Amino acid sequence: MNRGDLRICMVAYACNPCGDGEHWLGWGWAVVAERLGRVWLVTPPKHEMEIRAAVGHLDIVPVFVALPGWLVTISEQMGLVGAWLRKLVWNEKARRVIRRLNSEVRFGIIHQTTFHSFRVPFSGRGLGVPSVWGPIAGGESVPPGFGHYLGKAAKGEACRRWLNRITPMLPWIRQSFNECSVILVSNRTTRDFFPSRYRSKCQVLLPNSVRDEDLLPLSEEPRSTNPAVILYVGSCVERRGLRLLFEAMTKLDSSRVRLVVVGAGPALAGWKGRAEELELGERVSFLGMIPPSEVRLWYDRATVFVFPSLRDGGGSGLMEAMTRGVPLVCLDWGGPAEMVDESCGIRVQVGSPEATVAGLRQAILDLTTDSDHARKLGLAARSRAASQFTWAGKEKHLAEIYLQITPPV
């Protein structure tokens, strides 16, 4: 592919070179695409200063699409509904801007990276330009029979399931599915959720990626063994399944195992209450939000990283643990099951809640009593992160896709 010949429109609603999570990934995809052609980056102006500072010598033309101030003000008072309203209105405004730009530039490819959800339509539809949508997720769901582990979030999860059922039938979503050349999906669960006629367009590409600093040399200090440290790092939301983990902890030797929870969110108070009900006491430490330097220290101390999420497209905490050489335990469900394989962790089968709790307990017991096996899995986790989740690997994959869908010159 001749780099100078390709003009790429990159759409990233979440985009911040200095950010984390989806914002950092939005910027990362733009940088990767710039190595393959000239990029027009369509994004909101929220992080304009950071983007302009980061563009530097890169061949990226930022195009900032703003929402009316009155809409932002009103939508911010509407909670989750308002957030979705902002996304949908911005998406439509971006679509009009892209249409105008295409009449001037004649894009070779339009690629929408963030939003990471199929519920927001592809903003380059209707232009007849080769297009890539994703990585997108959203087809994951909480396993049947686990609803009571969601607490107050159960009602919202039911609404999400209803929304997922109707979204593929919406005209603008059907048009997005029909017109996109390639649909990148974060996991096979989402691919299999999509109508069967679109699955041939789907390619699984995990959205998570490794920063260079994530692969700094590992600590030479031995990991905690007395007691062993079971670590969770991430958002405190009910779908992350910590209530399962608390139940698993009740039948583990209290003198040998300690659970450390790092993060904040709406489920935190409920989690603390549940831990008290189960009389876990000092066996569980809730640290809240702590500086990244302290989080890194906990990764280096951890004996096992446990991520018992009931619904997730991926997991940044899982990725961070992998780079720090921590053996992993997750459910064999959704995005985490794509990230973790048998070489670097234990995927617990999802059956009944009781069987799943027992599986978590056994996995923790196995890794806290066999230090050689735990170390082997941890080193393999780091190796997998370095080989499977780098931007260099994503660039190679993206180059193949772009070459596949663009007509020869």
- Return the percentage of the chain with pLDDT > 70, whole number: 99
What pLDDT, on a 0 to 100 scale, did the predictor assign at position 71? 82
Distance CA 254, CA 228 (A): 10
Distance CA 250, CA 32 (A): 46
331-344 pLDDT per residue, tens: 999 889 999 999 99
Domains of the chain: 3-137+170-207+390-405 (3.40.50.2000), 212-388 (3.40.50.2000)
What pLDDT, on a 0 to 100 scale, did the predictor assign at position 78? 82
Strand-pair category, 38-43 with 7-12: parallel
Report DSSP state, residue 305: E
The token duo for 17 is 């070179």
Q: What is the mean pLDDT of the chain?
A: 92
What pLDDT, on a 0 to 100 scale, did the predictor assign at position 209? 86
77-131 pLDDT per residue, tens: 887 788 888 899 999 999 999 999 999 999 999 999 998 899 999 999 999 999 9
Query: Scanning the structure block, which residue is given the tokens 């603008």?
Result: 172
Vertex 270: Cα angle to 269 and 273 (nearest 5): 90
Distance CA 280, CA 197 (A): 49
Closest C-alpha to 111, from 178, 36, 30, 174: 30
Using the predicted structure, report yes or no on whether residue 212 has a pLDDT greater than 80: no
Report DSSP state, residue 181: S
Q: What is the mean pLDDT of residues 202-206?
A: 92
132-154 pLDDT per residue, tens: 999 999 999 999 999 999 988 88
Using the predicted structure, report yes or no on whether residue 409 has a pLDDT greater than 70: no
28-71 pLDDT per residue, tens: 999 999 999 999 999 999 999 999 999 998 999 999 999 988 88
346-377 pLDDT per residue, tens: 999 998 999 999 999 999 999 999 999 999 99
DSSP 208-272: ----GGGGSPPP-SPPPBTTEEEEEES---GGG-HHHHHHHHTTS-TTTEEEEEE--STTHHHHH
Query: Scanning the structure block, which residue is given the tokens 């200063």?
Result: 49
